[in-house]
Amino acid sequence: MSETDREVHRAAQVTEPGGPVHIAPVQPREPGPGEVRLDVRASGICGADAGMAANPMPSYGFPITPGHEVAGVVAEVGEGVAGWEVGERAGVGWFGGSCGHCTACRSGDVVHCAERQIPGLTYLGGWATTITVPAAALVHIPDGLSFEEAAPFGCAGVTTFNALRHSGAEPGDRVAVLGIGGLGHFALQFAAAMGFETAAIGRGEDKRQAALDLGAHHYIDASAEDAGKALRALGGARLVLSTASSSKPLARLIDGLTPRGRLTVVGFDGTPLDLPLDKLVMHARHVTGHVTGSPVDTEQAMRFAMASGVRPRVRTAPLKQAAEALKIQQAGQACFRMVLTTDG
C-alpha cells in the first residue's frame, strides 16, 4: 500500500474520557503473523458500543474506535494466514479472537475464552475505513448479502440465532421474544423461520404491526397487560428470549413459561434480577444467559438467513455521521439497526 492510500483512511474516535465521537485520519495497521486487514464497507451500531465509546480506561488506550459488527473486503493478509485472499468479502463480529490454548478454546468453545478479544474493546474497532483482526475471527460473507445486511450478523444476528437453536425448543413449540429492537427484530424472524409459534412482547400498540410483519403470530402489549399471564393464557412458552435492554420485566415473565421452560437473556442493563425461586423450582424452569457465537456460527446464521429470507432491517448513515447515528440508535429510532457505511 502506498503512503497516498494510507492517508485516505479515517475512523470515528473518542480521544479522551467522556469526549465526543469525531472523525479523524488514521494509519492502517499492517497485519502481523496470523492477521488480516479489512477495508471496511459497513459497520453496525450495537447498544454495547455506547459503553465502549464512554470507556474511561480502554485496554488499548486512547483514542477509542468502537464497532464490532463489521463487513468489508480483505485488503492485506499477514504471514502464515491460509484460506483468505485479497479481495474476498469478509466480516468480524463481537468474537474478535481467542488465545487458542485454554480449556475453552481446546474444547471448541472459543467464545468463552478467558482472553477473548472484542473489536472496539480489546483493539481498535470497525467504525473506520480499516480494521486489522486475527484471521481466526473472520467470517465469509455470502454473495447474496449486502455489506449493510451482513454487518449486524456479527453480533445481533448470531447471538439471537444461537440462542434460539440451542434453547431446547422444537418446531411447533411456542417461543416468546421480549423486545423489538436490534436484537429482537432478528429473533422474531429467526423464530418464525425455525418453525416456532412466535409471540412478540413489546410496549405499546404502535409496535404490533411491526412485530407481525417480522413473523410474530401473537403480539402482547406489556404496557396494557401482564405479559406473563398473557403468555400463560396462550398455553405458556417453552422459551422466553429476552432481547430488551431492561431487566425489570423478567421476573414477571417466569409465570409465562411452561414446566421445564427456559428464560434466556441476551439483552440486559446490569440491574440485579430478583426471581421467585419457588416458581423456578416447582416447575423445573431454567434461567440462562447467552452471548454471541463463533465465526462458524455466524456463517451458519447467514446461510440460514439466505435460505429462509431473514434479513436485518437497517438504517444507514455515512461514517462521518457516526456521532449522530449513535444517538439515533440509543433513542430507539433506528428501526431496527443503525449501520455506518464508508464510500468504499
Residue 209: give the domain boundaries. 158-289
Amino acid 133: pLDDT: 98
Amino acid 6: pLDDT: 52
Q: Are residues 182 and 298 in the same domain?
A: no
Q: Are residues 99 and 134 in the same domain?
A: yes
Amino acid 337: pLDDT: 96
Q: Are residues 49 and 178 in the same domain?
A: no
| pTM score of the predicted model | 0.95
Q: Are residues 11 and 133 in the same domain?
A: yes
What proportion of the chain, given as a percentage, has pLDDT over 70? 98
Banded model confidence at residue 4, pLDDT cuts 50, 70, 90? very low
> Is a pLDDT exceeding 90 seen at residue 247?
no
Q: Are residues 73 and 87 in the same domain?
A: yes
Mean pLDDT of 103-117: 96
Q: Are residues 126 and 20 in the same domain?
A: yes
| Domain stop point among 266, 289, 312 | 289
Q: Are residues 251 and 271 in the same domain?
A: yes
What's the grid cell of residue 254?
Answer: 417466569
Q: Are residues 217 and 318 in the same domain?
A: no
> Is a pLDDT exceeding 80 seen at residue 270?
no
Q: Are residues 271 and 227 in the same domain?
A: yes
Amino acid 43: pLDDT: 98
Q: What is the pLDDT of residues 203-220, one digit of tens each?
A: 999 999 999 999 999 999
> Is a pLDDT exceeding 90 seen at residue 96?
yes
Residue by residue, what is the 3-state secondary structure of the chain? CCHHHHHCCEEEEECCCCCCCEEEECCCCCCCCCEEEEEEEEEECCHHHHHHHCCCCCCCCCCECCCCCEEEEEEEECCCCCCCCCCCEEEECCCCCCCCCCHHHHCCCHHHCCCCCCECCCECCCCECEEEEEHHHCEECCCCCCHHHHHHHHCHHHHHHHHHHCCCCCCCCEEEEECCCCCHHHHHHHHHHCCCEEEEEECCHHHHHHHHHCCCCEEEECCCCCHHHHHHHHCCEEEEEECCCCCCCHHHHHHHEEEEEEEEECCCCCCCCCCCHHHHHCCCCEEEECCCCCHHHHHHHHHHHHHHCCCCCEEEEEHHHHHHHHHHHHCCCCCCEEEEECCC
Banded model confidence at residue 202, pLDDT cuts 50, 70, 90? very high
Find the CATH number of the domain harbouring 228: 3.40.50.720
Q: Are residues 65 and 189 in the same domain?
A: no
What's the grid cell of residue 134?
Answer: 486475527
When divided into structural domains, the chain yields a total of 2
Amino acid 5: pLDDT: 52
Q: Are residues 150 and 165 in the same domain?
A: no
| Domain stop point among 289, 311, 326 | 289
| Domain stop point among 246, 272, 289 | 289
Find the CATH number of the domain harbouring 121: 3.90.180.10
CA-only gyration radius of the chain, Å: 20
Q: Are residues 316 and 189 in the same domain?
A: no
Cα–Cα distance, 37 to 29 (Å, whole number): 8
